[in-house]
Structures are given as structure tokens and as C-alpha cells.
Amino acid sequence: MAIRKDGIKSRENLLRAAAEVFAEKGYQKATVAQICQKAGSNIASVNYHFTSKDELYIAVWKKAFEHALQVYPADGGLDQTATPPQRLGALIHCLLHRILDDGTLGFAGQILLRELGEPTEVIGNIMLDVVAPLRKLARNILSELLGPAANERNLRFCELSIVHQCLATSFRRSRKNFPRVFEDEITIEIIDELAEHITLFSLAGISAVRKKWKNMKQKKKADR
């Protein structure tokens, strides 16, 4: 049976209202009553369209992530001729802007940031599913940069190092008792500058790791 137009409109109103409330208050403090009041709906409509607050939050989070992906694609729009360093730079640019650019992403950016600072169990498995393609892309790039001498642990360590550099700024920004990372308001230009810095810093580290493991592999062969 086809969904009536008024049903579709009611569902979209709930998603928009929920995005605003979840962004402002976070998952734990947001209530279904607050969301329904903002959407001009009743609690029964949430149960009808989403069955629960958890499912509503999952739908909002997925929509926020998809919006961020459209605005800041992981490949940065690069073509197939792009080099691994260029692809890594595009990925870091994507991650930082998704985390820090509340102005462009609006409620989507605030929801993603809240989930990073105040992680919930609600979207645990969902997050793994949506993040999996990003991890695969990152690991493919790192495999090329590290070369054949690298092993699984090298890949994981480099992946953690890069991702945590990107997350650190949002973490410090969300903690009032931490020193501010930037004295000025975070702008697109500052995010771009930070992305370039993390890219250069990471490439230098990856180069050192590659050299270390290549030398160790050669030494093992010589000792045989």
C-alpha cells in the first residue's frame, strides 16, 4: 500500500524536528515530547513512523551522515589519476570538514559532533556499517603509501594516528576545561589549513614507518 502524501510530510517533519532537538540537546536529554511539539505532531506519529525514539535517532543519524557525505565526499571529487598522497589529503579534508564545519552542515554537523563527544549505544552497529566504506578507502590508500613491507598492525596504527588527529580538535572544542585549539572562530579557511597540516604531518610519518619496516625486512633477509 502506498504511503499517503500527508504521511510522508508527517515523517519528514518529524525528521527535521528531531534533527534540531538532537543537535541541541543530544540523544540522552532529547525527549519524544519535545520533538513532537516542534514537529506539530503527537507521540503516536513517532510510534507509527519509527516505532521508538531509538529508531528515530537512527534515521536522523543516517540522514545526517548521508548529507555530510554529499557535501564532503570522501574522494574529494578526485579522478582515477590522483596519487595516494592526493587521495589521503582529500580524505583528511573530508573528515575534518564533516567534524568541524557546523555552518555548512547545520544540524547534521552538530549531530555527528555530538555522537563523537557523547557516543551512544543506539547507533553502534549502524555506525560500523556507514563508516566501513571510509575505513576501506583509508586502508587502501595507506597500503599503497606503506608499501608491501607493511603488515596489518602498521595499517591499524597509521589509520588510528590519522583519524585521531582529526578527532582531537573536535574533542578539545567540546570540553570547556581544555585550552582552546584556535583563538579565533573556526572558519573554512582554518579547517583547510589544518587539513593540509595533518596531511603533511601524516605523510612524513608514513614515510618514516615505511622506511623502518623496509629496512627491517631487508635486514632479516641478509641475516638468513
pLDDT digit string (tens) for 115-142? 877 788 888 777 777 778 888 999 999 9
Residue 5 pLDDT class (50, 70, 90 cuts): low
Q: What average pLDDT does the segment 61-71 reach?
A: 87
Q: What average pLDDT does the segment 179-200 reach?
A: 81
Distance of alpha carbon 191 from alpha carbon 187, whole angstroms: 6
Residue 172 pLDDT class (50, 70, 90 cuts): low
pLDDT digit string (tens) for 91-102? 999 988 888 887
What's the gap between Cα 20 and its chain centre?
19
pLDDT of residue 157: 94
What's the gap between Cα 122 and its chain centre?
16
Q: What average pLDDT does the segment 154-173 reach?
A: 84
Residue with cell 521508538: 52
Torsion of CA 150, 156, 162, 165, to 10 degrees: -140
Q: How open is the CA angle 19-77-111, to the nearest 5 degrees? A: 15
Residue 32 pLDDT class (50, 70, 90 cuts): very high
pLDDT of residue 127: 72
Query: So where are the chain's domains?
Result: 5-51, 62-223
Q: What are phi and psi of 179, to 5 degrees?
A: -60, 140
CA distances from 60 to 43, 48, 66, 101 (A): 17, 16, 10, 18
Please answer whether residues 118 and 56 qualify as being in contact, where contact means their C-beta atoms are separated by less than 8 angstroms.
no
Stretch among 110-114, 168-172, 205-209, 215-219 having the lowest mean pLDDT: 168-172
Please answer whether residues 97 and 72 qualify as being in contact, where contact means their C-beta atoms are separated by less than 8 angstroms.
yes
CA distances from 48 to 41, 55, 149 (A): 11, 11, 55
Residue 151 pLDDT class (50, 70, 90 cuts): confident
CA distances from 82 to 79, 89, 158, 190 (A): 6, 11, 21, 24
User: What CATH code is assigned to 5-51?
Assistant: 1.10.10.60
Total-model pTM: 0.79
pLDDT of residue 171: 65
Query: Of the CATH numbers 3.40.50, 1.20.120, 1.10.3470, 1.10.357, which one belongs to the domain with range 62-223?
Result: 1.10.357
C-alpha grid cell, residue 190: 582554518
Stretch among 94-98, 143-147, 168-172, 213-217 having the lowest mean pLDDT: 168-172
Please answer whether residues 22 and 60 qualify as being in contact, where contact means their C-beta atoms are separated by less than 8 angstroms.
yes
Q: What average pLDDT does the segment 82-97 reach?
A: 94
Residue 2 pLDDT class (50, 70, 90 cuts): very low
Distance of alpha carbon 102 from alpha carbon 169, whole angstroms: 13
C-alpha grid cell, residue 191: 579547517
